[in-house]
Structure 1
């Protein structure tokens, strides 16, 4: 297996390649393995699934950890030679970084991969790089970058679901003229700008941008010029202070009728419904292009399941992976999480997602652009700053400069 140490050696992560694992065997013959999750949102779902797994496998005990700032915690643990047995992590640059370092088990020969939609395997492969043909994680749950809308308000305003950018702007104008808040922004928290950024860039910027950028053949200044313009255009349809409300408060206000549209991921929907179970919601892909047929749904690997290469209990860890891949279990996960499955035949049937179901059925999907940005770029903070200052040229040049700094460390 190739091990690429650039960018990892300085952090000491490569020392984790020689560890013996953090799991243990009890005196009663029961083996304990750890499941590390980067999402606090799925904590209750995992607890329920672990109970089921332990009933089926009484000789294996699973301990769940889902700390805040999970990626930072995981990297710190790697430095301390403390790698979890099983990891449930996002399909982003950190996954690619750790996979290249040899931290993860290679699933290339696993039958589990036969169940996975090819597009999601390709996304994980791109994160690792074309020079390595290993498959170091099982795409499990996927997400969607959507426009969530209040069905009642859309019907009252006689708005047809927009298929193009101009139609979307016209819908926002209609909402504004009726005295409604067109878009519910929650930009007090920097990360909430990213669903908007990704929703536009996913169809507007070439998927080859990260590779070309690393080769010095592309820049944010050129490739993201229209993306920046469109983001600024959308700001005009928010609150007087788009940065005065955060994610949780924004979910609550949208649930209770403030806003016609909300550009967020499917992950926000359970929180919105928790605040108001009676609100009627729909979703559609952000139509960032004026060519309707080019407006694919931005989707990515929200949860990849993987196993430590050097765990002392690989058989038990892989048994847990196989359990998670069972159709009934995979269906239970996406139903509880309002998510989508990377597995063929495991379908999200909630009518809220009727407007994007066709994208999954026809594989009209494109990846999250920021999943391919280098770890450490802190794009969300730079983009939030851009939206506050509205200085497009400076912001895009800063993104270029910071990207170059990160990859040249």
Structure 2
């Protein structure tokens, strides 16, 4: 998922936290240890509450305080600068995690038994975020996600359409939906991060897997590698509704649930929210076909949640107990079932039939990483993209993306 906990920190801020010593929020009263569990995923609050209740029944001497603030970026940044890092964290596998790991504030799980239960490919994915100079495993990939095209099965059938497997077929489907008086795509660009969903699908398939590394070496640029993705973003925008920039994510979920569009460019995390609004809705998903070669249209997937803990927590043993509980197969299976997510843990599979359209991608490895997970922390790509979609100045947009990348790296 493009994480709503957008990248925030700088190495200077994080290093300062280390130099002055990280505090722990774990307290105790009447023999009970309290641990602070921070998450950036508001969608997962109910699931976490249920899992925490089960853990506390099994461990009456440990209380888990769930912290899921609406402005997670600001809150976590403030806590870092105040040397008040949470005991436990469930955060996205993105550049923010990479900075935290490089700063040395996270526990190294290399020697922990739970690490061996994780699919190695996801360990490699998060290790790339940290970089080759930092050794160890500082975060445990837990839940994975995917960007996809969610569609209304009833509407697709009414329009006589089949699931497209090429870009041209997708555009033709959008045209037919529009001609029939339907809204082809429901955009929610009031929340800038939602624009990154199609952007990542396009970039993940068209810009090259090594774009970030090549960009840092001066061998690639947005101006050169993202020209076609930028054009296709503008083309998709033509199939939105009358207020693409006036509707936010939550309202978009409800609108799509009411049948106000045929397609919805989102991730698997939106499906529980849509079904809450309309439990009887028949949904399907497919990878956005961004090229005219079906074999080249990979599903963009990444680590949506990784579990980690503060290296300086005063209650490391109790914190590890909670992590071990979360990593159990039955716990992980419950999480992905409720969140319509996928698991990074071996032998835990997503069986919901709604995902039939992307099941093969996981089975045959036709996957691409989220490009923006490798963007420099603090770049603000979602806001730059939102601005581009509003003013449609492609050259200025690509130039700004290059400049902001370099500006952050030069700090």
Tell me which residue corresponds to 2:134. Answer: 132
Tell me which residue corresponds to 1:310. Answer: 312
Q: CA 1:178–1:361 in structure 2 vs 1: closer, same or farther (change >3 Å)?
A: same
Shift of 1:291: 1.4
Q: 2:27 aligns with which of 11, 21, 24?
A: 24
Question: What's the TM-score once normalised by structure 2's chain length?
Answer: 0.94
Structure 2: runs of 5 or more not aligned? 1-8
Q: CA 1:83–1:303 in structure 2 vs 1: closer, same or farther (change >3 Å)?
A: same
**Separation in structure 1 between the aligned mates of residue 254 and residue 23 of structure 2, nearest angstrom:** 46
Question: What's the TM-score once normalised by structure 1's chain length?
Answer: 0.95
Deviations 1:340-380 (A, max 9, x none): 11112211111111111111222222111111111111111
Q: Secondary structure in 1 aligned to 2:35?
A: strand
8 Å Cα contact 2:142/2:306 also seen in 1: yes
Tell me which residue corresponds to 1:8. Answer: 11
Q: Which moved more, 1:233-242 or 1:97-106?
A: 233-242
Tell me which residue corresponds to 1:3. Answer: none
Tell me which residue corresponds to 1:97. Answer: 99
8 Å Cα contact 1:255/1:275 also seen in 2: yes
Q: 1:122 aligns with which of 113, 121, 124?
A: 124
Deviations 1:157-197 (A, max 9, x none): 22111111111111112212222111111112211101010
1:50-129 to structure 2, matched below 5 A, reads 50-129=52-131
Question: Cα RMSD between the aligned structures?
Answer: 1.6
**Separation in structure 2 between the aligned mates of residue 326 and residue 246 of structure 1, nearest angstrom:** 35
**Separation in structure 2 between the aligned mates of residue 25 and residue 241 of structure 1, nearest angstrom:** 51
Shift of 1:274: 1.6
**Separation in structure 2 between the aligned mates of residue 358 and residue 34 of structure 1, nearest angstrom:** 38
8 Å Cα contact 1:16/1:82 also seen in 2: no
Aligned residues: 403
Tell me which residue corresponds to 1:181. Answer: 183
Q: Secondary structure in 2 aligned to 1:195?
A: helix
8 Å Cα contact 1:145/1:264 also seen in 2: yes
**Separation in structure 1 between the aligned mates of residue 19 and residue 167 of structure 2, nearest angstrom:** 48
Deviations 1:269-328 (A, max 9, x none): 122112222221100011112111111111111110001111111111111111001111
Shift of 1:23: 0.7
**Separation in structure 1 between the aligned mates of residue 13 and residue 385 of structure 2, nearest angstrom:** 28
